[in-house]
Amino acid sequence: MWKPTLIGALAAIVGKQHVLGDPVDRKLYGYDATPFAPLVMPDAVVLPGCADEIARIVKLANQEKFPLVPRGAGTNLTGGARPIQGGVVLSTQRMNRIIELDADNLQVVVQPGVVTGQLQAFLEGKGLFYPPDPQSKDTCTIGGNLSENAGGPRAVKYGVTRQYVLALQCVLPDGSLVRLGARTMKSVVGFDLVSLLVGAEGMLGVITEATLRLLPLPACRGTLLVSFARMETAGAAVAELFRDKLLPAAIEFMDRATLDCVRLAHPGVLPENVDAVLVVEVDGSREEVERLTPRVAAVMERLGSATCRWTLDPKESESLWKARRAVSPALGRIAPLKLNEDIVVPISRLPEAIRRIHEIGQKHRVTCACFGHIGDGNIHVNFLVQPTEEERKRAELAVAELFELVISFGGSMSGEHGIGTAKQPFIELELSPPVLEAMRQIKRAWDPNDIMNPGKVFPVPAGDRRVRVPGGA
């Protein structure tokens, strides 16, 4: 329970200047990037500067029984960084150092507040490569990426964040400062607690340091822009590439509604009068890229693509990727409210999934725009909603039907955004009661006082499968 006197106790740990109690300051940390989520004010915000300070804060939270919400840059899209029960937001923004680069062993040790894009730029300057690349990489931080097991376009070839975490330093919910994993490529001593922490959405502890695995930087990249007259053909093209034993570094998808929005922001980059576009990237040595890029183009043309052009020029490639990264803000031009669901389906079901997702939008008379990391089956389905009660309700029905469809395909409701609060009403569609109870038991064992990011992930009361659209039912 929160007491105003706790401000002084926190200040004694981190210094008065690093505890924010003013209402204006607290309001800034009452949001994350969850679209149109209502403000939830924390009682205080604390900005520790080291792991020992975090350990002392967690011990204080246990002693006084107040909620503690770890936070990176606040780019979370499902409410995971929102302090829905008040308490203290623990921001890692001051812990932003690259501690050590071990080029001999292809490792880097970083604090959680390091911005992902800045880390990548630093490593690329050394000829090294950290593959996970969420679209918010210029803003998001490593700590948030770890908490959500972030992915991005390159996941199709290189995998997601979890695959690059060798070791962690973290503060457990009882305030113990521990190290997990090892700075070796292999270690099977005990349970894999590193993998348990990655993707736990801040519910099992606070990550204070990460040892990340690196790769040599690919020498060359080739980028293809492929257009299709029919959306389903774009989905079939992905499966066809894999059947031809081709594995691009990234395969990104944009449907007609998405293309219409992006053209307004970046005229002349994307083709006109097509139903879908793929942006495909091939990387490796110069020889590999020069050999594989035409092979990818040949597969696209064999499937009847409307146009296919490719480039090895970095500036032209960046222009195409800039258009792809502009998708999310561009969709705001159609409707002020966007419900962005990051579903995943098996590659073989992509053509049918794309068709049926748009049918769901048509059925409920809600504009549907799809884009995303189609190379690993991860499609961002956006239902674009006008701010009326009647349309909100139709959007809620569309989302519920979308999740049921995805589960029936053997897919998943979330590929990279996590559950947070936004998808709580639906988690029982994917996870059985015994699995959810096993998760609860882990949470109770690690965090008996339920101080770490409480109120997230676990399902809301049975039968309440509604999207929490602000202003809606």
Residue 472 clears pLDDT 50, i.e. is over it: no
CATH number of the domain bearing residue 142: 3.30.465.10
Place 461 in a pLDDT band, splitting at 50, 70 and 90.
Answer: low
pLDDT of 99 strictly over 80:
yes
Q: What's the whole-number mean pLDDT along residues 324-336?
A: 80
Helix (H, G, I), strand (E, B) or coil at 249: coil
> Do residue 275 and residue 407 come from a single domain?
yes
* Residue 158, both tokens: 């290189």
Q: What are the pLDDT digits (tens) for 49-79?
A: 999 999 999 999 999 999 999 999 999 999 9
Same domain as 86, residue 107: no
pLDDT greater than 90 at residue 263: no
Global pTM reads: 0.94
Q: State the average pLDDT over residues 397-415.
A: 97
Residues 59 and 152 in one domain: no
Q: Are residues 204 and 317 in the same domain?
A: no
Q: How far is CA 386 from CA 265, 381, 418, 467, in A?
A: 21, 16, 25, 15
Handedness of CA 228, 231, 233, 234 (dihedral sign): positive
Q: For residues 361 and 271, which has the higher predicted lDDT (pLDDT)?
A: 361
> C-alpha angle with apex 416: 411 to 420, nearest 5 degrees?
100
As for how many domains the chain has, the answer is: 3
In the predicted model, is pLDDT for residue 175 greater than 70? yes
Answer yes or no: do 379 and 292 share one domain: yes
Task: Return the structure tokens found at 347.
Answer: 């590659």
Mean pLDDT lowest among 115-119, 219-223, 270-274? 270-274
Q: What's 28's domain CATH number? A: 3.30.43.10
pLDDT digits (tens, 9 = 90+) for 210-250: 999 999 999 999 999 999 999 889 999 999 999 999 999 99
**How much is the pLDDT for 357?**
97
177 shares a domain with 233 = no
Note down the domain range covering 249: 218-417
Looking at residue 329, its pLDDT comes to 78
Residue with tokens 């990460």: 210
* Closest of 1, 10, 12 to residue 64, by C-alpha: 1
Of 196, 216, 236, the residue at which a domain comes to its end is 216
